[in-house]
């Protein structure tokens, strides 16, 4: 992952502390007067190329939207904020008092909304999506978007997603990264304790995959071009059947682990 990608991802997440709150108590009111900032928000329209930043202290499922509006499934707690072309969706659960009530809530009253461990968010086509999760997985299927997905203590699973002209970054710690029928122009996947498995529908310009305790496996289409390849492991077996080139080739692949096998192949 290059410095530009890292800086962009950190800047998007930092916006969550800066953006003004909008539409916090929009449509979908369920009759409770104490919804406050956790009320159901109106579904915003997100233009192609806009940034959608999702933050949660659990996990999330991403699925394609029918149109240009972001959807949050069911009666899931969420907050929206917005600045320029960046929309921030906060799915974090509220803090609770010692007696189990949400902070500031009267005894015997509930918000009427769920705090789902894996809520579903519907993403419009062409959006750039950044997710910051923890203590649960990220599951993406059928989403045509640039993807920057990070969690801790959970798997990152992606199928039939990404865009061949966009970057895809998949990262976890204490979990595996698994991607199938993935499209990307630049692809980076990383974990510490877990496997990295990337099955690509296109041939990215650059591929980087890294773990410490686990195997790394990358599969490219049968007509993949030549790559400059570095495949290394300390305690395992490297296997490369992807066409290899010289220093003049534009495409590169770097696959690294400490304890596990490293495989780069074609369909």
Q: State whether 82 and 180 are in the same domain.
A: no
Spatial distance between the Cα atoms of 57 and 84, rounded to a whole number of angstroms: 25
Residue 29 lies in a domain: no
Residue 237 lies in a domain: yes
Q: State whether 56 and 137 are in the same domain.
A: yes
Residue 194 lies in a domain: yes
Q: State whether 136 and 190 are in the same domain.
A: no
Structural domain including 134 reads: 44-93+116-142
Q: State whether 53 and 130 are in the same domain.
A: yes
Q: Which residue has the tokens 């979908």?
A: 28
Q: How far apart are the first and last CA of the chain?
A: 25
Residue 17 lies in a domain: no
User: In 3D, which of 150, 163, 139 has the Cα closest to residue 190?
Assistant: 150
Q: What total of structural domains would you count in the chain?
A: 2
pTM across the whole model: 0.81
Residue 8 lies in a domain: no
Pairing status of strand 120-123 against strand 71-72: antiparallel
Q: State whether 253 and 171 are in the same domain.
A: yes
Q: State whether 55 and 123 are in the same domain.
A: yes
Q: State whether 125 and 181 are in the same domain.
A: no
Print pLDDT tens along the chain (267 aa): 454 444 454 555 444 444 444 333 333 333 333 333 444 446 788 888 899 999 999 999 999 999 999 999 877 888 999 888 899 999 988 765 445 444 444 443 344 456 778 999 999 999 999 999 999 999 999 999 999 999 999 999 999 999 999 999 999 999 999 999 999 999 999 999 999 999 999 999 999 999 999 999 999 999 999 999 999 999 999 999 999 988 777 899 999 999 999 999 998
């Amino acid at each position: 992952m290059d410095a530009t990608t890292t800086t962009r991802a950190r800047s998007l997440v930092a916006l969550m502390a800066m953006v003004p709150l909008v539409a916090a108590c929009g449509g979908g009111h369920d009759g409770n007067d104490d919804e406050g900032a956790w009320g159901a928000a109106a579904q915003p329209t997100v233009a192609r190329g806009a940034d959608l930043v999702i933050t949660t202290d659990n996990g999330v499922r991403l699925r394609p939207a029918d149109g240009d509006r972001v959807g949050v499934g069911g009666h899931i707690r969420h907050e929206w904020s917005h600045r320029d072309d960046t929309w921030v969706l906060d799915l974090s659960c509220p803090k609770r008092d010692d007696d189990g009530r949400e902070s500031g809530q009267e005894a015997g009253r509930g918000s009427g909304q769920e705090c789902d461990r894996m809520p579903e968010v519907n993403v419009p086509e062409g959006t750039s999506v950044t997710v910051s999760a923890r203590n649960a997985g990220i599951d993406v299927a059928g989403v045509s978007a640039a993807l920057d997905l990070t969690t801790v203590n959970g798997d990152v699973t992606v199928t039939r997603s990404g865009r061949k002209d966009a970057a895809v970054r998949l990262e976890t710690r204490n979990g595996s990264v698994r991607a199938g029928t993935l499209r990307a122009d630049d692809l980076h996947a990383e974990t510490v304790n877990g496997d990295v498995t990337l099955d690509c529908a296109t041939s990215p310009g650059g591929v980087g995959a890294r773990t410490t305790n686990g195997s790394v496996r990358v599969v490219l289409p049968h007509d993949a071009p030549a790559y400059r390849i570095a495949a290394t492991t300390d305690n395992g077996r490297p296997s490369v059947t992807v066409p290899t080139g010289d220093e003049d080739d534009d495409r590169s692949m770097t696959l690294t682990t400490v304890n596990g096998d490293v495989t780069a192949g074609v369909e």
